[in-house]
Amino acid sequence: MNIFDLMDKAAIRECKPILQELYRKHRKKYIDLFFYEKGISFDRYSLKPLVKTGILRKRENRFRANVQVFPLSGKFICTDFNYSMHRKIGKTYTTQKDGVWGILPEETPLLAKRAIVNKEDIVLDLATGSGMIGIFCADKAKKVIATDINPKAINYAHFNAILNGVEEKMDFRVGDLFAPVKGMKFDLIIWNGPTVATPKTPEKYPVYSYGGMDGTEFTHKFIDEAFKYLKPWVDCSGMIAQQEQIKCLLQWITLKENGKIIR
């Protein structure tokens, strides 16, 4: 279990220019390290900050990644490998019960980059995972609250916020759904929660994947509560219509297309 030490912020910040250099000048080695988990040798410059913070580990003269580091628009987001070549029993890959959701190109990055955020917005990034969505929102928003039921996810998200220089605009809280933000109101709520259809044995699945028998358990809980946490806006139809519009909008995102939940 990889948990980042958040106390040495200077060491964490030292990592970003090194990651930038690796990605810009040694793209193949970067991909081999952080996506294919290969052991890589580097002789040209020091990777000590990456080892010190726990992003890498060194074995003899080679470095190996402890985490996936996903590059996106100048930011670098650390998260777990969903299936690691170093976690196998025979030919079967194993998952971590407290794992942090790995980043898929067609999923989290799209939400992160397409979120419409205004300068004075207070944003809730619910089920934050690695924190990627909240970190991109923090570039524009006044404040971002990032929550997750998994303490390890909050650790990763906080680390990534420091790494990318937005920790002053973010707050991190552990808890299930809206429990960590009771009584608060938000201009924008973004979530990318679990939608995997699984039997009623949540203890057997990673916390990021369990969505109940049909995959919509988390989604329905979210819909039931979300409108209570959104700030009202002026509407000629009044508050009742506004709440109904929110309910309809949230119900729409549960529709299935090609067997997948539309978020």
pLDDT for the residue numbered 191: 85
Beta bridge partners of 188: 123
The residues near 64 (Cβ < 8 Å, ≥ 6 apart) are 33, 37, 38, 39, 40, 56, 57, 58
Residue 223 φ then ψ, to 5°? -60, -40
| Residue 246: strand, helix, or coil | helix
Mean pLDDT calculated for residue range 120-149: 95
Domain boundary assignment for the chain: 9-90, 108-261
DSSP 258: T
What tokens does 80 get? 């777990």
pLDDT grade, residue 254 (50/70/90)? very low
Question: pLDDT tens digit string along 75-99?
Answer: 999 999 877 766 666 777 667 777 8
Measured between alpha carbons, how far is 160 from 177 in angstroms, rounded to an integer? 21
Weakest-pLDDT range from 104-108, 134-138, 166-170, 227-231: 104-108
pLDDT grade, residue 206 (50/70/90)? low
pLDDT for the residue numbered 5: 93
Residue 239, pLDDT > 80, answer no
Residue 217, pLDDT > 90, answer no
pLDDT for the residue numbered 2: 72
Question: pLDDT tens digit string along 104-116?
Answer: 888 888 888 888 8
Residue 241, pLDDT > 50, answer no
Measured between alpha carbons, how far is 185 from 231 in angstroms, rounded to an integer? 5
Could you tell me which CATH number the domain at 108-261 has? 3.40.50.150
Mean pLDDT calculated for residue range 204-231: 76
Terminal C-alpha separation, the chain = 29
Question: pLDDT tens digit string along 26-74?
Answer: 999 999 999 999 998 887 678 999 999 999 999 888 999 999 999 999 9
Residue 140 φ then ψ, to 5°? -115, -35
More confident residue, 232 or 142: 142
